[in-house]
Amino acid sequence: MDRVAPPLRHPGLNLADDPRDTRRRFESDVFGFWIFLMSDAVLFALLFAIYGTMLRGTAGAPGPADVFKIGPAFIETLLLLTSSTTFGMASIALKRDAGAGALVGWLIVTLGLGLAFLGMEAHDFVTMAAAGATPERSGFLSAFFVLVGMHGLHVTIGSIWLCVMLLQLATIGRDRGVKLNLLRLGLFWHFLDVIWIAIFSVVYLQGLIR
């Protein structure tokens, strides 16, 4: 039997049996989220640009070399990268339509890693504040806290979203809406990983050089 065109499929979704209209709908729903992520990427790009221009605006307050601790930042990087992998495992479980256990399990591991990341980041911030590096001290510190804090805020929202999805998996099950939102959450989560890699390189590694 010949296939004229490969069936329209998205990773993590099993929609081949759905009517054409439903598949088109799905495609558009996911595409919209990609566009949102582009707009979110612009937001981060601008915050990076502001951070870059404010590196020297330390105004006598602690500068990059004084306050950044590469050790915790590296562990945070590992946590977040691992959480992206575990979310990938969850996506595969969803795609293969494996038992609900695997999907929920991987999602819970992802959530745990996300929360660990947030905890460490909060600890970093508190340590910095205790050393006198608070955002109202200088333009540089303002830019640092807003850039890294904005990423942290995104991870927080992602974690809440993960909790909501776990609740929906328990109460609603894997229906169209839940699958769609898991796919979008996956995109969001990986996107935050990409942003973090940029933060680790531009903020922390660059801070080490100075």
- Residues lying near another protein in the complex (CB under 8 A): 24, 27-29, 31-32, 35-36, 38-40, 42-43, 46-47, 50, 53-54, 56-59, 61, 135-140, 142-143, 145-146, 164, 168, 171-172, 175, 177, 181
Least distance in angstroms from the C-beta of 148 to another protein: 14
**Which residue reads 């601790």 in tokens?**
69
Q: For residue 198, give the 3-state DSSP assignment.
A: helix
Least distance in angstroms from the C-beta of 32 to another protein: 4
Least distance in angstroms from the C-beta of 75 to another protein: 28
Rank residues 12 and 135 by Cβ distance to another protein and give the closer one.
135
- Cα separation, 157 vs 143, in Å, equals 21
Least distance in angstroms from the C-beta of 44 to another protein: 9
- Cα separation, 185 vs 158, in Å, equals 7
SS3 breakdown of the chain: % helix, strand, coil, rounded to 5? Answer: 75, 0, 25
**Which residue reads 């006598």 in tokens?**
60
CA 84 vs CA 14, 112, 170, 191: distances in Å: 21, 12, 22, 9
Rank residues 50 and 100 by Cβ distance to another protein and give the closer one.
50
DSSP per-residue string spanning 27-75: HHHHHHHHHHHHHHHHHHHHHHHHHHHTTT--TTS--HHHH--HHHHHH
Q: Exposure of 129 by Cβ count < 10 A (0-12 exposed, 13-18 middle, 19+ buried)? A: middle
Rank residues 75 and 164 by Cβ distance to another protein and give the closer one.
164
Least distance in angstroms from the C-beta of 169 to another protein: 12
Least distance in angstroms from the C-beta of 164 to another protein: 6
**Sign of the torsion formed by the C-alpha atoms of 164, 31, 200 and 148:** negative
Rank residues 79 and 185 by Cβ distance to another protein and give the closer one.
185
Rank residues 80 and 107 by Cβ distance to another protein and give the closer one.
107
Rank residues 36 and 120 by Cβ distance to another protein and give the closer one.
36
